[in-house]
Chain A
Amino acid sequence: MAAPLWLTTDERKAFDALPEAVRNGWELKEETLSFTDTPERRSARLGLVRLHDTKLLALREKVQKAATPEEVAALLAEMDLHDVTEGDLAELFFALGPDALTLLIAPLLRDAKTDGDLDDLASLLMIRHSLLESLRLRPE
C-alpha cells in the first residue's frame, strides 16, 4: 500500500498540473503543518546525529582522511544507501529537516511522469510530514 501524498497548497497546484494518467489513484492529504528552521536549530540537529551503520562510519573516516575536496566529492558520489539501517536513515532525515525535503520535493513533483515517480515522492512526503509533526512546538 502506497502512502498518501501529503501536499502543501503550492505542491497541490503542481500535482494538479500533472497528466491525469499520472494523478489517478493517489490519496491526497493537505499538508498544513509548517516549521520555521533557523541556522541554530539546523546546527543543533546536525550536531546530535548518532550513526551506527558501519558503512556511514567508514564514510566519515574516509572523508576525514581525504586529501582534496575532489576526493570528498567522489566519496559522497559513491555513497550507496542500500545497506544503511532504517534507524540511521531516520537520523539523517531528522538532521536535514523538513526544509531540505521541501526543496527536493518541488522538482521531483514537477517532473513526475510515472506512478513510480509519485511513489518515490510519497515516501519523501511522508517523512516530511512526520518530521513536521515531531518538530512542531508542543503546547505549554
Chain B
Amino acid sequence: MGSSARTKRDPANDNRPEKAGIETPEVRPFQAQPEVLSQYLENVKADEVEAMMKSVEGREKLVDMLGTHAEDLQEAHGIDLKELREQIDLAGETLEQKERFLQDVQSPEKKGLFRRAWEKVKGFPRKHPVVTALLAVAAIAGATAAGFYLTGNWELLLSKIAGLGKALKAMGASGELIPPTPNTPPLPGGGVFEIPGGSPTPGLDIPT
C-alpha cells in the first residue's frame, strides 16, 4: 500500500526558510490527485486524468505517461514509480467508490429516503454538534496546510471543539484529516495556515 498520507521531511527543513532566512530543498508529500498529476502531463486536463484513473487501463497509461517524470517525482516527492502506481491505483479505486456512493444516494429507489436523511442532517448543528463539526473538518481538510498540523496547531484546534478531538482520536484519524498539500512557501500575513492568497491550489475549487 502506498503511503499517501506520509509527510516525508528532510530534517534540514526544520530550519524553515521563514525562521532561518535561507531556502532549503524540501521533499514534499505527494498525493495522487487528478489536479496534481495533470500538472506533470502536458495537454492532459485534470478531468481527463480523473477519467483515466477510474479504469485499470487508464491508470496503467497514466503511469507510463508519468514515467518520463520519474526523476522529478523522486527529487521533489521522494516517490518512485512503484509507489506512484500504488497511489494512482488507490486514488482510482477511491474515485470509483465515490461514484458508486453518489449514484446510490441518487438512485430512483433511494432518492426519497436520502432526501429525508439529508434534511435531517441539515438540522443536526444544534442537536448533534459533533457530527456537524466533523463534517466541517472534512470540508476544510483539503484546504489546510500540513504545517498547521505539524506545528501542533491541529491538536489545539481539535481541543477547542468539544467532543471532536475525542471522536477523531478514537478513529485514529486526526492526522489524515490534514492530507498532504502542495508545498506553499510561507508568506508574510499568510494566516494561521500560512497559505498566501490569490494563487490557485490543485484540488481546490477556490483561489487561495
Name the one of A3, A51, A94, A100 contacting B101, with C-beta atoms under 8 angstroms.
A94
- B142 neighbours in A (Cβ, 8 Å): 46-47, 49
A23 within 8 A of B: no
Interface residues of B in 155-175 (CB under 8 A from A): 156-157, 160-161, 167, 170-173, 175
Chain B contact patch, size range: 35 or more
B121 within 8 A of A: yes
Chain A contact patch, size range: 35 or more
B20 within 8 A of A: no
Tally inter-chain residue pairs, CB-CB below 8 A.
215
Cross-chain contact A57 with B205 (CB below 8 angstroms):
yes
Name the one of A47, A56, A89 contacting B31, with C-beta atoms under 8 angstroms.
A47
A56, B139: Cα distance in complex, Å: 7
Could you tell me the dominant secondary structure of chain A's interface residues?
Answer: helix
- A63 neighbours in B (Cβ, 8 Å): 140, 143-144, 193
Stretch at the interface among B11-19, B58-66, B87-95: B87-95
Cross-chain contact B118 with A86 (CB below 8 angstroms):
yes
Cross-chain contact B143 with A64 (CB below 8 angstroms):
yes
Residues of B within 8 A of A (CB): 1-5, 31, 33, 90-91, 94-95, 97-98, 100-102, 104-105, 110, 112-118, 120-125, 127-144, 153-154, 156-157, 160-161, 167, 170-173, 175-177, 179-180, 191-193, 195, 197, 203-206, 208
- Since A100-B134, A124-B131 are in contact, a sample of 12 more A-B pairs with Cβ atoms closer than 8 Å, ordered by chain A residue number, is A1-B112, A43-B5, A49-B142, A66-B193, A76-B136, A77-B133, A82-B122, A91-B102, A99-B173, A103-B170, A124-B117, A134-B98
